């Protein structure tokens, strides 16, 4: 009996020992998982590598607007189709009505070209320079505040280089004519030291263009009238042909000319 009891005790002891080991191993695994979880929660990422910083910098720079394209004091002069429209009207009159087909074709081609240019060419005045930019035809004038000067290409016809000229390089400017805007001119020393002239047909808001040029351009060699003095009478006084036209008008017609501000039937007086 004693022998059987001893044998039974010996066989039971290892089983109990093995049963006691299982909770110990389970507890160890639980403690390990808890430590790993704690370590994951308290993990602090190290500083980015140089390669990573370069990638982050590149991604940031692609969405950052250029300081030179958007200023706090930018004025974009909107397009105007009146000059082109008048030429197209003359083409329609001289051709079908008067059968002057050569004159009709010339006026029609020029009017169509200027109307197309009026839909995409914009003058942009920043704090330091005047810029010529292109937008998509039909796009909002506001888009011209953000487009690159490179959109207008190289100014090969008038000295070369980009279409951007600093105000302090402008030595003189003229506006033909206050009250009836058709052509604008300025001369600058940025392209050539001895001066480069530029001529542009006024295919934009002429009165706004005149006001901004008065405000930001250096003083012109010739005295310029105030925008409040604009009238058709003032425009006629600028040329010998205009003065001859006035001489052939009656007193009543001259008075009406003085009261007209802008293009008849197109501008509000």
Dist CA 9 CA 216 (whole Å): 109
Question: Is residue 134 within 8 Å of 76, Cβ to Cβ?
Answer: no
* pLDDT for the residue numbered 64: 31
Peptide bond preceding 39 in cis form (omega within 30 of 0): no
Q: Which residues does the chain have with pLDDT short of 50?
A: 1-7, 9-71
CA dihedral of 213, 217, 222, 227, whole degrees rounded to 10? 30
Dist CA 264 CA 254 (whole Å): 14
Query: What is the 8-class DSSP label of residue 64?
Result: S
* pLDDT for the residue numbered 44: 39
β-bridge mates for residue 124, sequence order: 76, 131
Rg of the chain over Cα atoms, rounded to whole angstroms, equals 40
Q: How many CB atoms lie within 10 A of CB 11?
A: 9
* pLDDT for the residue numbered 230: 87
Q: Give Cβ neighbours of residue 224 (< 8 Å, ≥ 6 apart).
A: 175, 178, 214
Count Cβ atoms within 10 A of the Cβ of residue 21 and give its class: 0-12 exposed, 13-18 middle, 19 or more buried.
exposed
Question: Is residue 261 within 8 Å of 269, Cβ to Cβ?
Answer: yes
Count Cβ atoms within 10 A of the Cβ of residue 181 and give its class: 0-12 exposed, 13-18 middle, 19 or more buried.
buried
Name which of 133, 138, 92, 100 is nearest 116 in CA terms.
Answer: 138
Dist CA 46 CA 64 (whole Å): 26
Name which of 200, 212, 174 is nearest 73 in CA terms.
Answer: 212
DSSP H or E stretch at residue 188: strand 183-188
* pLDDT for the residue numbered 87: 94
Handedness of CA 219, 222, 225, 231 (dihedral sign): negative
**Exposure of 230 in the CB half-sphere (CA atoms within 13 A):** 20
Dist CA 201 CA 182 (whole Å): 6
This model's pTM is above 0.75: no
């Amino acid at each position: 009996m004693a022998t059987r009891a001893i044998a039974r005790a010996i066989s039971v002891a290892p089983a109990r020992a093995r049963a006691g080991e299982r909770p110990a191993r389970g507890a160890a695994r639980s403690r390990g998982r808890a430590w790993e979880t704690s370590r994951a929660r308290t993990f602090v990422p190290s500083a980015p590598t140089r390669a990573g910083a370069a990638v982050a910098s590149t991604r940031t720079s692609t969405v950052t607007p250029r300081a030179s394209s958007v200023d706090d004091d930018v004025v974009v002069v909107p397009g105007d189709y009146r000059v082109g429209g008048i030429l197209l009207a003359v083409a329609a009159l001289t051709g079908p009505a008067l059968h002057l087909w050569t004159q009709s074709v010339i006026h029609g081609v020029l009017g169509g070209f200027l109307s197309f240019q009026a839909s995409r060419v914009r003058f942009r005045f920043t704090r330091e320079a005047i810029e010529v930019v292109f937008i998509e035809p039909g796009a909002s004038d506001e888009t011209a505040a953000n487009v690159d000067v490179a959109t207008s290409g190289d100014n090969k016809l008038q000295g070369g280089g980009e279409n951007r000229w600093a105000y302090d390089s402008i030595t003189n400017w003229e506006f033909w004519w206050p009250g009836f805007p058709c052509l604008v001119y300025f001369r600058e020393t940025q392209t050539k030291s001895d001066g480069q002239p530029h001529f542009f047909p006024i295919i934009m808001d002429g009165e706004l263009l005149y006001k901004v040029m008065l405000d930001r351009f250096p003083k012109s060699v010739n005295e310029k009238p105030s925008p409040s003095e604009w009238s058709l009478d003032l425009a006629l006084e600028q040329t010998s042909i205009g003065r001859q036209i006035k001489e052939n008008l009656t007193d009543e017609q001259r008075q009406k000319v003085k009261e007209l501000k802008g293009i008849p039937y197109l501008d509000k007086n």
